[in-house]
Chain A
Amino acid sequence: MELVDLFQIVFYVAVLTLLTPGLGLYMYKVFSGERTFLTPLVGWVERGGYRLTGSSSREEMTWKEYLTALLWFNFFGFLFLFLLQLMQTILPLNPQNFANVSWHSAFNTAISFMTNTNWQGYAGETTMSYLTQMAGLAVQNFVSAATGIAVFLALARGISRQSSKTLGSFWVDLNRSVVYLLLPMSFVFALVLVQQGVVQNFSPYVDVTTLEGAKQTLPMGPAASQIAIKHLGTNGGGFFNANSAHPFENPTPLTNFLQILFLLLIPAGLTYTYGKMVGSIKQGWTIYAVMAAVWVFTMIGSVASEAVSNPLLAESMSMEGKETRFGVVSSLIFSTATTLVSCGAVNAMHSSLSPLAGGIAMFNIMLGEVIFGGVGAGMYGMLIFVVLTVFLAGLMVGRTPEYLGKKIEAREMKLVMLAILAPCATILIGTAIGVSSPLGLSSLANKGPHGFSEILYAFTSATGNNGSAFAGLNANTPFYNVLLGIAMLVGRFAVLVPVLMMAGSLVQKKISPPSTGTFETDTALFGILLIAVIVIAGALTFVPALSLGPIVEHFLMLRGQSF
């Protein structure tokens, strides 16, 4: 590792840390309905949204009403996107005359984008019309991110309000997230991307004769507008098949830096927003510190792993699947960030990483997508682990566990366990089905332990709502499209629904004042305990599976064994 590489890592963490309080404070103001500098500019759009839909900015919802609104909204999102793909031949903005998408791929993709997973079984530039990309996929990029933020806000209100019944309004939280946060930031980011070389047009593909006289067809399209929200909303679904490795999607080291920064920004900022909402900024910073520490640790681990020489290829720091303009270290900063954050965009092919760096990418997702995690989803997932940690600490000292003055009782713990265990079970059962059926095995591209890793990664990524892949696996088959579609639904809603139920239960409780026996949740001790709980829960569940994949592959590679 050269000095310049180390400097890059320090620079990323420093910039993110500096931006977190500013953005966090802005989001706090937006979500509590205060005036901000953007209100004169876009306030009328927010008001227009209420008027046109018949909702109100003063409405309050119980957890059941909140969930009902969310589910209907997500259902229509799924339906719109599903139908758009099945009808793109008769709709406008399809200059390449792409056929309608197959039912199973459309089903998978609609779930994928609705759940903020953005797993892609298709290749964008040869499958999706411009209309499907911008009015279908990009719209879900916005609203699935806003849905995540909304659920986080409901939970934060459940913790900070007392003796109440309501958690805010889903429509207000959704509307404000899009209008004040996601849209303006995406717009500015998109223009920067275009300036650096990302395409943004509605032209048909361009046929050229190359310098040597061969024919080449260059893809076009409204890419920048979609790529901006793909990162900001931690979606990760690329406009092009190669995602952020594609030079039209991520043309320069600067766009690469910004794409990594933008996928971390909102998840990081929300830790500060949370601190403001519960009345103690230190609570937010503790959670931020936990997240940043794990990120730094996985970056160093990945670089160390890539530096191990592969005797099969007589190379270390292999360039297979990586782009020249990024090199190895920028690719690893990206791979660790995109897997911890449930983004799933990739600027290098994860399948070609060294065994342990690929394993770290997978393990990052297995941690439950709570280290930064998806927009909103990472924060509410993290709070699940915070409650679990408080509970375990309470058991150790034999007191009724309390979090920020709220008693944690049997109902909350049941919901916490459901939210943690359901995704774990889905990953392991899905992988077991994949590796034990001929349909699952026929999609493999790599043999040996790497083949197992392909299937394990697929179910991990789908359930974690991440969307990155060991992309050798041909997942565009009815078998994988349906199975992974179900995994994505479980991964999203088996966490989201218990979270809203828990918010509904917490909001009714009184906040008891802190006493000498109160277990503090804003200290370094608590941070370390929280990391331990997250890592141990992930490790206990997944080390056996990881041993059969990346870990055994690492040792076989050192012995010079190929498959």
Chain B
Amino acid sequence: MKPMMIALKMMLFMTVLTGLIYPLLTTGISQLLFPDQANGSLMRKGTEVIGSELLAQKFEAPEYFWERPSAVDYNPLPSGGANLGPTSQILKEQVTARRLKLMEANRGTMKVPPHLLFASGSGLDPHISVEAARYQFGRIAKERNLNEASMQKLLDENVEGRQWGFLGEPRVNVLKLNLALDILRSNLRK
């Protein structure tokens, strides 16, 4: 009976140590040192919380940059990808439909940037590639009466490069970009 009792007590000991003390300590120090990140990197417009910098939200209006397609329709509960395989008929039809829609909306070419054709893994990918942003310039410039040069300037300001110069891919955060678009408009009105 002795090993059984030790096992039971050891399990309790480990639960308190790694299951209570460790997460509580980590939370305490995180909240002290990095409160913004620890609470979800929330973004505000004025005083209103409009979302998280890290989570994609749905953009359908023509005057905003659009996100990558989402298998969960940008609802984080729960997150996830489409999990469609490379020979899936459904995926083939989805990609064709997205390609046509994007070409029409942007009066663009056949060569739609892949980030706008394929759903992300999380369904909440907050970024698009630089090409995917540029592909949407024409539509947004027309809707907002902006010239392409000021759009390009906005994009350049918001591009995030590879981390340390070689990790990951260059990208642009769609929510930040759209927020910058709205700020640009309110500045022009003044």
Asked if A209 contacts B50 (CB within 8 A), the reply is yes
Return 14 A-B CB contacts under 8 Å, by A number: A123-B79, A139-B14, A187-B25, A195-B37, A199-B40, A208-B50, A212-B64, A216-B51, A222-B26, A226-B23, A240-B79, A247-B126, A351-B81, A472-B84
Q: Nearest B residue to A317 by beta-carbon distance? A: B114
Closest Cβ of chain A to B9, distance in Å, is 4
Q: How many angstroms between the C-alpha atoms of A68 and B82 in the bound complex?
A: 44
B77 within 8 A of A: yes
The stretch among B85-93, B100-108, B137-145, B148-156 that forms the contact with chain A is B85-93
Q: Nearest B residue to A59 by beta-carbon distance? A: B6
Q: Nearest A residue to B9 by beta-carbon distance? A: A53
A493 within 8 A of B: no
Closest Cβ of chain B to A282, distance in Å, is 33
A200 within 8 A of B: yes
- In the complex, how many residues of chain B place their beta carbon closer than 8 angstroms to a beta carbon of chain A? 95
Q: How many angstroms between the C-alpha atoms of A357 and B19 in the bound complex?
A: 37
A95 within 8 A of B: no
Given known contacts A139-B14, A199-B38, A348-B121, A52 and B9 CB-to-CB distance under 8 angstroms: yes
A480 within 8 A of B: no
Within 8 Å CB of B80, what residues of A?
123, 241-242, 471
| Most chain B CB inside 10 Å of its own CB: which residue of A55, A553, A557 | A55
B147 within 8 A of A: no
Q: Which of B8-42 contact A (CB under 8 A)?
A: 8-11, 13-15, 17-20, 22-23, 25-27, 29-31, 33-34, 37-42
Given known contacts A183-B22, A247-B55, A320 and B10 CB-to-CB distance under 8 angstroms: no
Q: How many angstroms between the C-alpha atoms of A542 and B67 in the bound complex?
A: 41
B188 within 8 A of A: no
Asked if A203 contacts B27 (CB within 8 A), the reply is no
Within 8 Å CB of A202, what residues of B?
27
The stretch among A71-79, A153-161, A500-508 that forms the contact with chain B is A71-79
Closest Cβ of chain B to A419, distance in Å, is 24
Q: How many angstroms between the C-alpha atoms of A196 and B163 in the bound complex?
A: 12
- In the complex, how many residues of chain A place their beta carbon closer than 8 angstroms to a beta carbon of chain B? 124
Within 8 Å CB of B88, what residues of A?
446-447, 450, 562-563
- Residues 249-262 of chain A, each 1 if its beta carbon lies under 8 Å from chain B, else 0: 00111101100000
CB within 8 Å of A: which residues of B?
Answer: 2-11, 13-15, 17-20, 22-23, 25-27, 29-31, 33-34, 37-42, 45, 48-55, 57-61, 64, 68, 74-89, 91-92, 95, 114-115, 117-129, 162-164, 166-169, 171, 175, 178-179, 182
| Most chain A CB inside 10 Å of its own CB: which residue of B17, B27, B126, B167 | B167
Within 8 Å CB of A174, what residues of B?
10
A320 CB contact (under 8 Å) in B50, B119, B162: B119
Within 8 Å CB of B27, what residues of A?
200-202, 222, 225
Within 8 Å CB of B129, what residues of A?
324
A330 CB contact (under 8 Å) in B25, B26, B119, B168: B168
A69 CB contact (under 8 Å) in B3, B26, B84: B3
Asked if A563 contacts B87 (CB within 8 A), the reply is yes
Q: How many angstroms between the C-alpha atoms of A354 and B88 in the bound complex?
A: 11
Closest Cβ of chain A to B78, distance in Å, is 4
Q: How many angstroms between the C-alpha atoms of A482 and B98 in the bound complex?
A: 39
CB within 8 Å of B: which residues of A?
Answer: 4, 7-8, 11, 45, 49, 52-55, 65, 68-69, 72-73, 75-77, 80, 123-126, 134-136, 138-139, 142-143, 171, 174-175, 178-179, 182-183, 186-187, 190-191, 194-203, 205-206, 208-212, 214, 216-220, 222, 224-226, 229, 240-242, 245-248, 251-254, 256-257, 310, 312-313, 315, 317-327, 330, 346-349, 351-355, 358, 445-450, 453, 470-472, 553, 556-557, 561-563
Instruction: Using A471-B81, A562-B89, A562-B92 as known contacts, list a sample of 16 further A-B pairs with CB atoms less than 8 Å apart, ordered by residue number in A.
Output: A139-B15, A182-B18, A187-B26, A211-B178, A211-B182, A212-B57, A217-B75, A224-B26, A247-B54, A254-B163, A315-B114, A324-B115, A327-B169, A351-B83, A352-B84, A553-B87
Closest Cβ of chain B to A552, distance in Å, is 10
Asked if B23 contacts A138 (CB within 8 A), the reply is yes
Q: How many angstroms between the C-alpha atoms of A42 and B8 in the bound complex?
A: 22
Asked if A323 contacts B76 (CB within 8 A), the reply is no
Asked if B54 contacts A49 (CB within 8 A), the reply is no
Asked if A197 contacts B37 (CB within 8 A), the reply is yes
| Most chain B CB inside 10 Å of its own CB: which residue of A203, A313, A472 | A313
A126 CB contact (under 8 Å) in B39, B78, B164: B78
Within 8 Å CB of A330, what residues of B?
167-169
Q: How many angstroms between the C-alpha atoms of A562 and B123 in the bound complex?
A: 24
Q: How many angstroms between the C-alpha atoms of A135 and B119 in the bound complex?
A: 34
Given known contacts A49-B10, A55-B6, A125 and B18 CB-to-CB distance under 8 angstroms: no
